[in-house]
Amino acid sequence: MAHIHILGICGTFMGGIAALAKSMGHRVTGSDRNIYPPMSTQLEKLGIAVFADDDLSQLEPAPDLVIIGNALSRGHVLVEHVLQRRLPYTSGPQWLGEQVLRQKHVLAIAGTHGKTTTASMLVWILEQAGLDPSFLVGGVVQPYGETARLTTSPYFVIEADEYDTAFFDKRSKFLHYFANTLVINNLEFDHADIFSDLAAIQQQFAYVIRTVPSDGQVIYPQQPSVQEVLARGCWSQRIATGTAEGWQVHLLNAAGNAFQVLHHNQVVAQVDWQLIGKHNAENALMAIIAAAQVGIKPEQAAAALQQFTAPARRLEFKGAYGNVRVYDDFAHHPTAIATTIQAMRAQIGPNDRLIAIFEPRSNTMKAGVHKNTLAPAFAGADMVYGLQPEQQGGWQLHQALAAAGMPVHVAQTVPELVAELQQHYQDRQATSAGSHELNANAQNSKGEHAKAAVQEHWVVMSNGAFGGIHPLLATALEGVANYENSR
């Protein structure tokens, strides 16, 4: 087997490529600048050596193939070395398509939001149906604890990203995937660093629809931006959601943790599960429809979803400290932020407080493209704590959120942000302790003691590591809690 060396190996996609290549028997090595969990853990578990991204010795002796991630470009020392030495190279999507996906029945999950969650749901449904699917997803799929897996099954579930392929191939990644079933969850403007406007993204979606065979399916919502793309041509079976003639989802409560699936206005399945939010119910609907294309009945898929665990960083509970519960979420686009906040608001108590902790990390956010839609996105929160290094992008997060109508605190560093949150927590604990002492001696008209202190729910939102904020928060909050308990 070949020696494959991967530049930019610690991205979730490239790390998944590494895992697949390793399982095919190849010798795999790689390099990266930012090495942190979950990919560093996955690569270490696989026994894949990772080098610093400026160490030329890793290309001596020359590997049989270099796979170059889209985070690297001209001017990078390793890229220049590969080109000067005429080493054979390719992109991750092209290698994946040619070496793996061309031989599989591919179920591709595309769209601006919900790709990782929907793909994970579909993997779980197929697994519970005994189909043992392969997968590559942009997050850790539970309960496998992996972002990628290769099996002998004919079915492969992939998160189909519209981001560009490589510095030498500016087509969207998903054009390499040979999709049999293409799910388009939704379509909004994002990735302003490579797309000039929504029309440019729509063009890529129009291209990928052209690659779906006539016996394949395109599953899509009744969203104008998606329908405009389909109007340019679709030669496959169209399956629409959100219409009485097609598929629909009906929430059974405000939290969205119970819903019905309707087909032709008839209830065909019901799901009661741990996830919350209308967006997750809609993601589930897409996964159920996709699973139906390979013979899994809706009621069978719904039964599987009732045991589904969301992938890491999708409103993932991280810990409780006094009256505070901390969550981690991948939301980084205004629509995703609003959806996350709405889902949490529907789930928590009517008097509980929701604190959003936000890092505008994506290139689109840093450029200020979404600054005018941030205030409405955060409107459901009680407070916002944000991280924005000085002069990042030439716009001010504090000003962008001013119209939201709630207290906003912006720090320039993660330690500074954690210190402010620790002070907030300490102040709230002191206030709660005072209230509890007063209430302990007070009874209501029925002779009952007053209710317990108000809960706070802190949702940390970023599409990156956020400077390692979670262990820092845990240390800070535990310190205050331990001090209060020792008094």
Torsion sign over Cα 432, 437, 442, 444: positive
DSSP annotation of 173: G
Type of residue found at 63? P
Q: Is 165 helix (H, G, I), strand (E, B) or coil?
A: strand
H or E segment to which residue 91 belongs = strand 89-91
Q: What is the pLDDT of residues 121-154, one digit of tens each?
A: 999 999 999 999 999 998 888 888 889 999 999 9
Do residues 21 and 42 make contact, with C-beta atoms less than 8 angstroms apart? no
Of 260 and 244, which is predicted with more confidence?
Answer: 260
Radius of gyration of the chain (CA): 24
Asked if 398 and 408 touch (Cβ cutoff 8 Å), the reply is yes
Q: Is residue 438's pLDDT more than 60? A: no
Please tell me the predicted confidence (pLDDT) of residue 244: 81
Q: Report which residue type is found at 203.
A: Q
Single-letter amino acid, residue 435: S
How far apart CA 474 and CA 42 sit, in angstroms, is: 24
CA distance 287 to 431: 46
User: Which tens digits make up the pLDDT trace of 355-389?
Assistant: 999 998 887 787 778 888 888 889 889 999 999 88
Q: Which long-range contacts (CB under 8 A, 24 or more apart) does 76-85 make?
A: 76/7, 77/53, 78/7, 78/31, 78/53, 78/54, 79/7, 79/167, 81/56, 82/7, 85/59
* Interval 295-299 mean pLDDT: 97
- Give the C-alpha separation, 446 to 393, whole Å: 57
CA distance 284 to 118: 6
**Residue-range domains of the chain with CATH:** 3-91 (3.40.50.720), 100-305 (3.40.1190.10), 316-486 (3.90.190.20)
Whether the bond between 143 and the residue before it is cis, its omega within 30 degrees of 0, is yes
- Which of 85-99, 219-233, 302-316, 443-457 is predicted with the least confidence, judged by mean pLDDT? 443-457
Residues 387-411, mean pLDDT to the nearest whole number = 83
What residues contact residue 25 under an 8 Å CB cut-off, 6+ apart? 1
Model confidence band, residue 435 (pLDDT cutoffs 50, 70, 90): low
Of 225, 271, 219, 218, nearest to 247 (Cα)? 219
Return all residues near 431 (Cβ < 8 A) that are at least 6 apart: none
Band (62; pLDDT cuts 50, 70, 90): very high
Task: Choose the weakest-confidence range: 88-97, 208-217, 267-276, 386-395.
Answer: 386-395
Mean pLDDT of the chain: 89
Q: Which residues of 124-139 are buried (b: 16+ CB within 10 A; e: fewer)?
A: bbbbbbebebbbbbbb
Q: Which residue has the higher pLDDT, 82 or 371?
A: 82
**Cα 185 from Cα 220, distance rounded (Å):** 6
Band (446; pLDDT cuts 50, 70, 90): very low
Query: What pLDDT digit, counting tens, does each position of 155-188 carry?
Result: 999 999 999 999 999 999 999 999 999 999 989 8
Quick check: 441 pLDDT over 60? no
Residue 30 has pLDDT above 50, yes or no: yes
The more confident residue out of 107 and 448 is 107
The Cα 362–Cα 337 span in angstroms is 13
Using 50, 70 and 90 to split pLDDT, how confident is the model at 482? low
Burial degree of 395 (CB within 10 A; 0-12, 13-18, 19+): middle
Confidence class for position 483, pLDDT limits 50, 70, 90: very low
Q: Give 192-197 contacts, CB < 8 A, sequence gap 24+.
A: 192/363, 192/364, 192/367, 192/369, 193/363, 193/364, 193/367, 194/163, 194/164, 194/170
Amino acid identity at 301: A
pLDDT of residue 63: 97
Quote the CA–CA distance of 340 and 306 in Å, as a whole number: 20
